[in-house]
Amino acid sequence: MSAGREGYAVCSFSSAGGDVVHGHDTGDVAAGFGPATIVQPNPGAFPLTVTRNTTDGKFRLKQVWNQPDAVEKDITVTMTLKNTSNATIGGVALSRSGDYDVGTSGADAGLRTGDTVMLWDDVNSSADSPRSVRG
């Protein structure tokens, strides 16, 4: 079992050259993002806003981390991706991955809808590998 970690990636499809990874950060491995700008009302307070630009100048990723819900034991992270280039970029994908290892299971699972992605530990599975869900 690996230590819990999470991350995200921004990719697009170029008809001239296939998939393009503009930036990714999974904690252990990162490339293509500049330094983060972090804003929060007071140290340790929520919401916590993290903004990063891709080093190729194409995208700005803004993540807003809300107060963890003590009853539901979850946290909502709202991610907004903005094209900061002067060109249209097709086939854009923003993904988030997680290997949280909470509770009694190391089996992470996920699902997505058109505008929501959820990740959780599946206590009914014996699988022990991180998964990614593209949203």
User: How far is residue 77's CA from residue 62's CA, in Å, rounded to a whole number?
Assistant: 10
pLDDT digits 0-9 by tens, 1-55: 345 577 899 999 877 778 899 999 988 889 999 999 999 989 889 999 999 999 9
Per-residue pLDDT band at 123 (split at 50, 70, 90)? low
**Helix %, strand %, coil % of the chain (to 5):** 0, 50, 50
Q: Token digits for 112? A: 């997505």
pLDDT of residue 35: 96
Question: Which residue, 95, 67, 88, 68, is CA-closest to 8?
Answer: 95
- The pLDDT of residue 119 is above 80: no
Task: Report residue 12 CA to chain centroid gap.
Answer: 15
Task: Report residue 118 CA to chain centroid gap.
Answer: 11
- For 27, 107, 129, the CA distances from 3, given in Å and listed in that order, are 11, 12, 11
Question: Is 134:110 a contact under the CB 8 Å cutoff?
Answer: no
pLDDT of residue 16: 76
Predicted TM-score of the model (pTM): 0.76
pLDDT digits 0-9 by tens, 72-103: 878 889 999 999 999 999 999 998 877 666 55
